[in-house]
Structure 1
Amino acid sequence: MAAASLVTSVVPESSWVASLPIASDLRATLPGRMTGLTLMVAGLGLMVWAWLSVGREVLAGVRHRLVPLAAWWSAPLLLMPPLFSRDAWSYAAQGALVAKGYDPYSVGPGVLSGHVTEAVDPMWMSTPAPYGPLPLAYGGLAARLTLDPYVLMLAHRALAVLGILLIAWAVPRLATACRVDPTVATWLVVANPVLITHGLGAAHNDVLMLGLACSAFALALTGHWGTAAVLAGAAAAVKAPGGLVVIAIAAVMSPLAGRARLRLASLAISGSVAVLTLVTIGELVGVGSGWLSALDVPGLVRSPLSIANLIGLGASGVLAWLGEDGAAQQALQIVRLLGILTALGLIAVLGLLSSIHNAARAVGIALLAVVLLGPTAHDWYFLWGVPFLAVARPGRKLTTALIGVSIILTVAAPLNSSLRGAVIPILMTTSLVLVVVGTLLGRLRTMQPQPQPKVVATAG
């Protein structure tokens, strides 16, 4: 995968990758790019196969040292170009905006000149940043030291590493508190190939958001509600959905379900602390709360992973076929609005009615509702709910679903926007993905817990 990224990833023309002798030759031709894509899909398949092999032993009671194992799997990607997405180059450019004194919530990277915008997706060149103040402030500090886009990308990957470390710290503690085998939960989350490839490999800031949210829940379970609420605000300061962990914090503060008045008070207290933290971070770093007006920017991508998008696009197509062009243009926006309102209603119910015993599941469902019913969804958004569902006493069906979705989203990762309009690579990569996914899903059917004596396995 690391070797293939030198061919398949979009990189700045000024970077060392663009001038590598063999890689640059492969990138210049269609057969060369297809060689890189084939190698990438093969590498993804091998990673998932290894993950499933370890998982079969974990489910059978073998106590693997999973954090060192995940670290070994991740190490080759640390210095490589970002996988499957150009978002990390946007992070670098948005940090440069802050360093240059621009308001990243008013202008896009297109106002900049120089190498820092070379690999930014043209779709996002004129759009404001949809992220919270925390990664922008960090990016601004890094950009004051250098404007080399590759170095800035690596700086943002360091945030992803921090997020994974926080997840690795929190998940076993959450699992133990929720009476779930921490080894199984760690395998499902920390060693998950989606986290390694999309989270670390693509350097998405969603990982930091998730690490802060998981840590907030873990601290709340130890009685540190105030600190937990502050961390929830910090998670929201990365990306807004991270603040939904206040549902779990409130459940810990008033553990019994059915006492709406106490739960409402708990939600108000923890939510107020989180919002105050979010506002304070925005003011301290000098970007304020202007990011709230840019939250609709990701909605420019009409992702088929969003149920609201699927229904809206279908309704628009039918109305356009019937000749109702005006209604067709409005249909998608109306359906998206209904999806958001439905998600908010579900979140309100979960916040008021969940107890401490199902708080983890409530947060996981709330985050998945935002993904599936929101205006857009990317494959790495699936990560949002995984840690919370993995520690929520998942039965066989939910565990199988988490594994199956992880397989599909990992192997299908190359079918992203970087192949936009490239018909032959899309068709050939799709064929490869279908073959590999079909083979790996066949292995999934055999993954059932087997009673075996517990032994200790090494990371190697």
Structure 2
Amino acid sequence: MNVETYRDAGSAPVAWRAAARRRRSRAAAVRTRMAWTAAARIGMAASTTALLMTVLLGTAAPNANTAAVRGPLSVLAPLPPVLSYPAAWLSTVLAGLGLGALLLAYARGWRPDPGRLLMLSAGAVALLVNLTPVGSSDTASYAAYGRLFATGTDPYEHSPASLGGPYASVVASDWLHTPSVYGPFATFAQAAAARLGADDPATTIWLLMVAGGAMFLLVGGLLVRIAAEPSRAALLWAANPLLIQQLVGGGHIDVFVVAAAVAAVFLARRCLPSGMLVGVGCGFKANAALVGAGLVWERLRRRDHAGLVRLTAGAGAVVAAAYLTVGREALGPLFEATSLAGADSPWSLVTSALGVMDRELAAAVTRFGWPFALVVVAVLLLRKLPEDAPHVVRTQFALALAWVLVAPWIMPWYTALAWGFHAQLPATRLTRWLIAYTVVMGCLHNSGGHTAG
């Protein structure tokens, strides 16, 4: 055997092994593609079914799981409670399962076009905003507070009951005698809708729903642009069936808080405008103060005292101007609400135990105790987050998630702030817990306002 023949003989096994490796690689790629394709199809089917069931609830309204109005496309006969409650629970569970399957497909290599996801989300939003709000009657309360302000009555000193007529008739009994706990900017937006809606609360609610849906899509577009993983960001916000149900289908004002919060953190290096955006968020709901706390911590961590001054000055100026417009009486109902503890909150055990002896003591312990618990839980959560993610976003997510876990009064749509920051982070094991928590809370509080929301 000559040298060339020897070389050819020796190279044959090498070539065979290389070909075998290529075949195994192609087979593995096929199996991986089949795995994420199956997960994606299951996720899309479950999510679509969940949203269609939500559409059914909003179309066949009013029912036990919707507000007491009819939206422009609510044309079916109302569903009886024996059907609406199971449909509401099943739609929430399917939404959670669908989201989980979509994220599993993403983890296995699926990369959907974020622009296409935004378009699909826009279609679902356009349909839901024209239906009766599902899961809560908060939009009816928004409309009533706006009508009070539009007619020259202070919604922070008077309740929807003082309106009488059609507006009072659609507010849930739990909130009929409760003044507004929302910020001045929320009141201004509600009043603008009420002026256009005039004596018809259904029109006012519809306008609020449209505004909320538009803001939801704007937040989705912003997250896709700023997130390191645009497809994942779109899945966690714009195409998230749980959030579409809770925020858009329910018509909740929390989406405006998230918009201000995400923008404030995105501009965190520009302290003055970032602080002003925090002030705007606080002008809608007080929980935006969590974002301010996270940004303050970031300035302190960097020892940027000049930035800290600009940040607090921007936020303080906007909040002060807003509350000076409506009067300091607006803070009264908000402060009283801080001592409330929902039945599904751990603080309900504290209020039950101490309330037997002293109700004022129980309220004080709840009011001042839960912020300390929030800090402890946020620190523990922060240790579970990927260290390669931006520190400011990690801090914000930890604070937002800790808040929904330990706050004395919490609803499923309050998780929106956590979802907004989570969409900017890499994959983490906390995702499954956030999904599960949102699903459980969604099932517990999907009653059209018959349970206080």
CA contact (8 A) 1:82 1:88 kept: yes
CA contact (8 A) 1:173 1:182 kept: yes
1:278 maps to 2:319: yes
- Work out the CA distance in 2 between the residues paired with 1:228 and 1:136: 22
Partner SS for 1:124: coil
Question: Root-mean-square deviation (CA), in Å?
Answer: 3.3
1:332 aligns to what? 362
1:241 maps to 2:291: no
> Percent of pairs identical after alignment?
26
Q: Map Cα deviations across residues 324-362 of structure 1 (whole Å, 9 max, x no partner).
A: x434x3453143034244157669999xxxx99321121
Q: Map Cα deviations across residues 63-104 of structure 1 (whole Å, 9 max, x no partner).
A: 223222323333332111111111110000000100111111
- Greater RCO, CA 8 A, separation 6+: 1
CA 1:332 to 1:263, structure 2 compared with 1: closer, same or farther past 3 Å?
A: farther
Task: Give the AA of the match of 1:267.
Answer: L
1:155 aligns to what? 207
- Work out the CA distance in 2 between the residues paired with 1:337 and 1:47: 34
Which of these residues, 196, 213, 216, is aligned with residue 264 of structure 2?
Answer: 216
CA 1:347 to 1:362, structure 2 compared with 1: closer, same or farther past 3 Å?
A: farther
CA 1:48 to 1:326, structure 2 compared with 1: closer, same or farther past 3 Å?
A: closer
1:36 aligns to what? 84
What pairs up with 1:24-423 in 2 under 5 angstroms? Answer: 26=79, 32-64=80-112, 65-145=116-196, 146-176=198-228, 181-220=229-268, 223-247=269-293, 249-250=295-296, 254=299, 257=301, 259=302, 262-283=303-324, 286-299=325-338, 302-313=341-352, 315-316=353-354, 325-327=356-358, 329-330=359-360, 332-342=362-372, 357-395=390-428, 397-414=429-446, 418=450
Task: Give the AA of the match of 1:239.
Answer: K
Which of these two proteins has the greater Rg computed from alpha carbons? 2
Task: Give the AA of the match of 2:108.
Answer: A
CA 1:412 to 1:293, structure 2 compared with 1: closer, same or farther past 3 Å?
A: closer
1:453 aligns to what? none
Q: Map Cα deviations across residues 398-451 of structure 1 (whole Å, 9 max, x no partner).
A: 12222332443445543675268xxxxxxxxxxxxxxxxxxxxxxxxxxxxxxx
CA contact (8 A) 1:47 1:193 kept: yes
Q: TM-score, normalised by structure 2?
A: 0.75
Task: Give the AA of the match of 1:38.
Answer: P
1:2 maps to 2:50: no
- Unaligned 5+ runs, structure 1: 27-31, 318-324, 421-460
Report how many aligned residue pairs link the two structures.
Answer: 386
CA 1:308 to 1:372, structure 2 compared with 1: closer, same or farther past 3 Å?
A: farther
- Work out the CA distance in 2 between the residues paired with 1:294 and 1:54: 41
- Work out the CA distance in 1 between the residues paired with 2:365 and 2:94: 40
Partner SS for 2:132: coil
- Unaligned 5+ runs, structure 2: 1-53, 381-386
CA 1:347 to 1:218, structure 2 compared with 1: closer, same or farther past 3 Å?
A: farther
CA 1:76 to 1:281, structure 2 compared with 1: closer, same or farther past 3 Å?
A: same
CA 1:417 to 1:154, structure 2 compared with 1: closer, same or farther past 3 Å?
A: closer
1:22 aligns to what? 77
CA 1:333 to 1:413, structure 2 compared with 1: closer, same or farther past 3 Å?
A: closer
- Work out the CA distance in 2 between the residues paired with 1:67 and 1:247: 31
Task: Give the AA of the match of 2:276.
Answer: V
CA contact (8 A) 1:130 1:297 kept: no
How far apart are residue 45 of structure 1 and its match? 4.1
Q: TM-score, normalised by structure 1?
A: 0.74
CA 1:304 to 1:87, structure 2 compared with 1: closer, same or farther past 3 Å?
A: same
Partner SS for 1:22: coil
- Work out the CA distance in 2 between the residues paired with 1:405 and 1:371: 9
- Work out the CA distance in 1 between the residues paired with 2:377 and 2:440: 27
How far apart are residue 116 of structure 1 and its match? 1.2
- Work out the CA distance in 2 between the residues paired with 1:403 and 1:386: 10
